Amino acid sequence: MNRKWKIDLTIIIPVMAILGLGLLSLSSALVYNPSRFYIQILWVISGIIVFFIVSSSDIRMWERSAIPLYAANLILLVLVLIIGKRIGGAQRWLDLGFMNFQVSEMTKLSIILFIAHRLNMKPTLEDGYNLIDVFPEAVATLVCMGLIYYEPDLGSSILIGLIALIMIMSSKINKKWLAGAIIFTAVITPLLWNFVLHDYQKNRVIAIATMMVSDSSELSQTTLYHTNQSIIAVGSGQKTGKGYRKGTQNMLRFIPEHHTDFIFSVFAEEFGFAGTSLLLLLYLYLITKILNAVSKVKDKFSALVLVGAATLIWIHVLINVGMVTGILPVVGIPLPLFSYGGSSMILMAIILGLVHNISVNSRYT
């Protein structure tokens, strides 16, 4: 009983700090819409509860539920394509009455558990897995990616692929196969570009690329209005920011989606480089803490879950900050623990709960 409530402050402190800064930004972004802010506070509280429940649960239970969870996830992914709720041209949500549940958030968790479990079951040879060995995991991932892609949600689809890829690669892979995989990617990319990507997606990629090499305002005014306004918000924050609730880009609503995917630009505008570096350092600290914990764990499943969790946070931050600052195309990836949204908050609570669970248990056993 005693052991269950041990806590690892090296994880909890940065998480609480990020949550705090996130709520601060949201209170500014939602100044004209306070009811949403209160909803987010409820989500944070629920998240904290979920975190401690997961943290004190039996990790084996999670491993055992990996496959059923994956199956449930697949069903929901199909379901969302059929009866999902459309918001802004994309069908990503299931209407649960009290919330819109974004299924791909659940997929992120389920893929981490699924791959960690599968690879844990699969003994590794001295010179690593052949690709054939991880073929089922690859297929399982690709199925999810495909379904999410069709919502459409390119960002989440790629993100899930990257998590799976890094988890698989962090176990041992035969070098010859690895080289083959790289060549395969080099061939498949142009094919994907030509036959899979929608025009608007290509346009976004092209637009970003164009903007990075030139200052062509024509393109950025029309296609990239969002990114452009976001960059102005971030840049105009300068060293120390315009001050809490004094960000003109935010307060006058020049920033699009300013409480969800673009919350970082609200924060950056009001707190400047001082704020953004602090926030990034918090994320970096959290991610390295999680990765450091890998060396202390006793089993492969836990190690892979940690890798998956760290990767999940890393890729989210990377893509989100990348798109907000205009170096990556605009895809719907939230900033974890920061953006408005229940699905994301609960996912992070579960993921961090697992991390905390593993971390605490590895330390005290």
Partner 1 sequence: MKILNQNQEVKNISQKTGRLTYVIFFTFFLLFTRLAFLQLIRGESYSRQSRSNFTLTEKIHPPRGDILSSDGKLLATTQPSYKISVVPVFFSRRDNINEQIDRISSVLELSSNEKALFHKRLSACFGRCRYIPMLVKEDIHRDRIVRFSSYLTNFPGVLISSSYKRVYPFGEKTAHVTGYISRISPSEIKIFENYDPENFVGKTALERSYETQLHGEYGEISHVIDHIGRKIEFPEDMVKNFPESVKAEKGSSIVTTIKSYLQETAHRAFGNQSGAAVVIEVSTGRILALYSNPSYDPNLLARRRIPEKIWNEYSKSILRPLTNKAIQQTYYPGSTFKIIPALAALHYGIVTPEKTFYCAGCMILGNETKCCWNRGGHHHVNLRKSIIESCDIYYYNLASEISIERFTHFSSLFHLGRNTGIEIPGEVSGILPDREWLNINHPGIPITRGVMMNMLIGQGDMRMTPLQIAMLYAAFANNGVLMYPKIVKHVTSQNGKVTEITPEVLRVLDIDKNHFKEINRALYGVGNEPGGTAFLHADRTIPHAAGKTGTSQRISLASRKKIDPADDERLNLTLNDALFAAFFPYKDPEIAVAVVVENGEHGGSVAAPIAYKIMRSYHLKKRVE
By three-state DSSP, how is residue 212 classified? helix
Q: Looking at beta carbons only, is 294 or 346 nearer to partner 1?
A: 294
| Partners of 85 in the β-ladder | 93
Q: Looking at beta carbons only, is 220 or 343 nearer to partner 1?
A: 220
Q: Looking at beta carbons only, is 189 or 216 nearer to partner 1?
A: 216
The distance of closest approach from Cβ of residue 213 to partner 1 in the complex, given in angstroms and rounded to an integer, is 15
| Partners of 236 in the β-ladder | none
The distance of closest approach from Cβ of residue 317 to partner 1 in the complex, given in angstroms and rounded to an integer, is 8
Cα–Cα distance for residue pair 1/19, rounded to 1 Å: 28
Torsion sign over Cα 316, 319, 325, 329: negative
Q: Looking at beta carbons only, is 33 or 238 nearer to partner 1?
A: 238
The distance of closest approach from Cβ of residue 121 to partner 1 in the complex, given in angstroms and rounded to an integer, is 12
The distance of closest approach from Cβ of residue 41 to partner 1 in the complex, given in angstroms and rounded to an integer, is 25
On whether the CB atoms of residues 260 and 341 are closer than 8 A, the answer is yes
Q: Looking at beta carbons only, is 93 or 316 nearer to partner 1?
A: 316
The distance of closest approach from Cβ of residue 265 to partner 1 in the complex, given in angstroms and rounded to an integer, is 10
**Backbone φ, ψ for residue 92 (5° rounding):** -115, -5
H or E stretch at 95: strand 90-95
The distance of closest approach from Cβ of residue 244 to partner 1 in the complex, given in angstroms and rounded to an integer, is 11
Q: Looking at beta carbons only, is 29 or 94 nearer to partner 1?
A: 29
**Backbone φ, ψ for residue 102 (5° rounding):** -90, 110
Helix 34-55 with 9-29: angle, nearest 10 deg: 170
Cα–Cα distance for residue pair 82/99, rounded to 1 Å: 18
Q: Which residues bind partner 1 (CB under 8 A)?
A: 123-127, 166, 169-172, 217-218, 221, 225, 229, 231-239, 242, 246, 248-249, 251-254, 268-269, 272-273, 276-277, 280, 283-284, 287-288, 291, 294-295, 297-300, 303-304, 306-307, 310-311, 314, 317-318, 321-322, 325, 327
Q: Looking at beta carbons only, is 189 or 288 nearer to partner 1?
A: 288
The distance of closest approach from Cβ of residue 283 to partner 1 in the complex, given in angstroms and rounded to an integer, is 8
Decide: residue 18, CB within 10 A, 0-12 exposed, 13-18 middle, 19+ buried: buried
Q: How far apart are the first and last CA of the chain?
A: 14
Q: Give the strand order in the sheet containing 100-102.
A: 85-87, 90-95, 100-102
